[in-house]
Amino acid sequence: MQEICVTENEAGQRLDKLLAKYLKEAPKSFLYKMLRKKNITLNGKKASGAEKLFQGDVVKLFLSDETIGKFSGREECIRPGRREALDILYEDSHILLLNKPVGMLSQKAREQDVSAVEHLIGYLLDSKALTEQELKTFRPSVCNRLDRNTSGILAAGKSLAGLQELSRFFKDRSIGKYYLCLVWGDVKRPESIKGYLVKDGLTNHVRISQKEMPEGVRIETEYRPLASGGGMTLLEVHLVTGKTHQIRAHLASQGHPILGDYKYGKPKVNDRYQKQYGLKSQLLHAWRLQMPKSEGTLGYLSGREFRAPPPGLFRQICAEQLGRQDLF
């Protein structure tokens, strides 16, 4: 027999949903059969599986350890993450904000990948903020994605309530997402540009159209120049919508590709900076996150702003290219 005491992260969901996570290899028919036979009970009583769970509820599994082990499955958890492996900008009981470096995946692309999520879970396990038992029914995760070679703020939910509310902020676009990038050309004034983005899944490449297209999705990007010099401009970009490669492709379509971007940029210019500075990725950095006004779980963060310092190479190139030491 095993016992599950429902935690804050597990509360609010149906009993059958919790059981499907805990015994993830078990057929649904098996779970409902065990409920009918009272081999699985809720607070000492027979349950149907449709009951909403509350913190402190007790679920008892009158099953052999062999049966539970068979249906639990093997929890694949790579644990490389400790605090020193993550540049943590902010952390509380519900959320964690980290400054992702260039080269780190936001989420897995392949089973063998180690992404920011694996580093996050490893850190939470090592710091005792998460237990192996809790991980069976709740998996902390990031709520936004950055390209592998884009640095900056990744927002993650540590609790179920924090993850749900933070995810909602990104989905309804109420959270402010601001980026820094160094682009080709002398940008004189702020702009708000719109268009349609079409993605080629085979090549992982997108193209921008000013005309509505059946396969296209509407995008909107705002930007303002912060400094310019030597034929380059440092922009702050407000990502109104958030689609694959949106900033990179949208700016390139305006004649202002991002320095270091070999997919949408100028190869000869990029080669020159690669030779001079060792630059191998686009100078695009998610640097500012503006929390919306809210009264929910994350209401205590209403209106707060968080910033992530750009990488050293980003700062060096901007300072030398633009002749400014006071940009960040």
Residue spans per domain, the chain: 2-72, 83-171, 176-322
Q: Given 3.40.50.2300, 3.30.2350.10, 3.40.50.10900, 3.40.50.300, which CATH number is that of 176-322?
A: 3.30.2350.10
User: What pTM was computed for the model?
Assistant: 0.84
Q: Which stretches within the chain are classed as H helix?
A: 15-22, 28-36, 65-72, 116-126, 132-135, 160-171, 246-253, 267-277, 312-322
Could you please state the CATH topology (level 3) that the domain comprising 83-171 is classified under: Pseudouridine synthase (3.30.2350)
**Is 176-322 the same fold as 2-72?**
no
Task: Please give the CATH superfamily to which domain 2-72 belongs.
Answer: RNA-binding S4 domain (3.10.290.10)
Note the pLDDT tens digit of each residue in 127-153.
889 888 888 888 899 999 999 999 999
d(CA 241, CA 172): 10
The answer to whether the beta carbons of residues 49 and 58 sit under 8 Å apart is no
Q: Rounded to the nearest 5°, which phi and psi values hold at 311?
A: -60, 160
Note the pLDDT tens digit of each residue in 164-214.
999 999 999 999 999 999 999 999 999 999 999 999 888 889 999 999 988
d(CA 264, CA 78): 34
d(CA 263, CA 149): 12
